[in-house]
Amino acid sequence: MEPAKKEVSPPDADADAGAGAAGGAADDFAGEPPADDEFKGPGKPISALVRTIVVDDPYRDIAVEDAIEAEKRALQDKDRDGVFDRLIEVETELVQHRKFVNLKIAEEVQAMQEAMELKYNRHFEKIIGHATEVAKEETQKVIERECIQKMNRMEIEAIREREEAIKQLDHRHMEQMEETKEHFRQEFEKEKMANAANICWMDGRMKTMEEAFEKEAASKTRVCKLNKIITIVTTLQERLACYRPIRRDLDLVMEVGSEDSVLSSVFAELPASCVQMCEEGVPTLSDMRMTFESTLQRDCVKAAFVGSRVGLPWHFAANVFSTFYMVQKRPRSHYDIDVETEAGGGELRMNLDNLSSAAYWIQQGDFDRAIRHLDRLSNDKAREMAQEWAVKVRDVICLHRAMEVLISRVECLNASVLN
């Protein structure tokens, strides 16, 4: 904001000279500003330049306090660079104002000099030239001294006003800087808290997504392993039905289902005979039934007829009897056992009855009871052959039960995955 420029009145002099000078100054400042061609060439009056500067001054009619308030309002929305630029402009305007004041003082001095000269010429034309010159010199010295004093006072006042304005601008700038700093700090804290809240929210979302992805990945992994296990179990069932080795399939089941305690322990505790049977091929229970009916039953009947006797005739006779003897498939009750015990039934009768009961229970599918009856055979050879067959049957039953457990576990896993 430009400081207000005060018009300087001429120093006190003689009344007539002052009136003439004031009238000349008023005439010089009245009317429109002179054209540019007035300043072209020497001899132009200083009043023309002063009048141009005063007319162009937008604050010539404004007081200093009003000018300062207007300057404060103009600087409220400016930043630091704008304030510094405005300070430079104010300094420039102050320098121009000083030049203007100097020009105006010079003009007033010139006008006063002209008025004094005119007055002295009128009143002291008849006075000797030496007295006139002395008076003029004294008057000019007084005027010059007063003008110099006035210029010094104006310069000091202008400097003081400039320093005051600079101090006020600096103070206002510091206040604005503090307010801006505090505002930025508050905005930064708000943004920091908002970003922290967003980060916490995003972190929670990421953890939720990671948990969901991990759960989905684990589910897909379980499904993939379950599909592999189902494929292996299907192949295992086919191999069991075809009397083929299943050791490799069992190893695959234990490898794929190592994380499941049931799958890993189904075949881990099988007897060595079962493992050997898996390497060679596992017969079905129907195969074991056919083996008993076609071979073992006839051999046991023959051994029962031979008994403890030795010699070729007895073996020939036992072979003939066993060919024509038909084993009746009927269960042996506890009453029959008690009657034979009391009556002291023969060894042959007891062995044939045990074979009949074993054949009956084999036909019914209860191999455990059949094996118990075969264990009651009193003939060593028949019991030895029956025990070999019973060991295979137990291994087959063990493997089939393990397969049932395996299939049940796979069905449970499949149901849990579907749910």
Task: Dump pLDDT digits (tens) for 92-104.
Answer: 888 888 888 888 8
What pLDDT digit, counting tens, does each position of 361-414 carry? 877 777 788 888 777 776 667 777 777 888 888 888 888 888 888 888 888 877
What average pLDDT is seen over the chain? 72
Spatial distance between the Cα atoms of 190 and 384, rounded to a whole number of angstroms: 93
Closest CA to 256 of 227, 220, 278, 295: 227
Q: Which residues contact 143 (CB under 8 A, 6 or more apart)?
A: 11, 13, 109, 112, 113, 116
Q: So what's the pLDDT on residue 249?
A: 78
Give alpha helix (H) positions in 77-128. 80-123
Q: Which residues contact 263 (CB under 8 A, 6 or more apart)?
A: 229, 253, 254, 256, 257, 406, 409
Spatial distance between the Cα atoms of 374 and 392, rounded to a whole number of angstroms: 14
- Where along the chain do its domains lie? 15-188, 243-418
Q: So what's the pLDDT on residue 156?
A: 93
DSSP-assigned letters across all residues of 128-159? -HHHHHHHHHHHHHHHHHHHHHHHHHHHHHHH
Q: Which residues contact 89 (CB under 8 A, 6 or more apart)?
A: 2
- Provide the sign of the torsion angle of the four alpha carbons 154, 158, 160, 161, taken in this order: positive
Q: So what's the pLDDT on residue 159?
A: 92
Q: Which residues of the chain have pLDDT under 70?
A: 1-62, 124, 126-129, 132, 257, 293-346, 348, 378-380, 417-419
Copy the structure tokens of residue 115: 């008025």
pTM of the model: 0.40
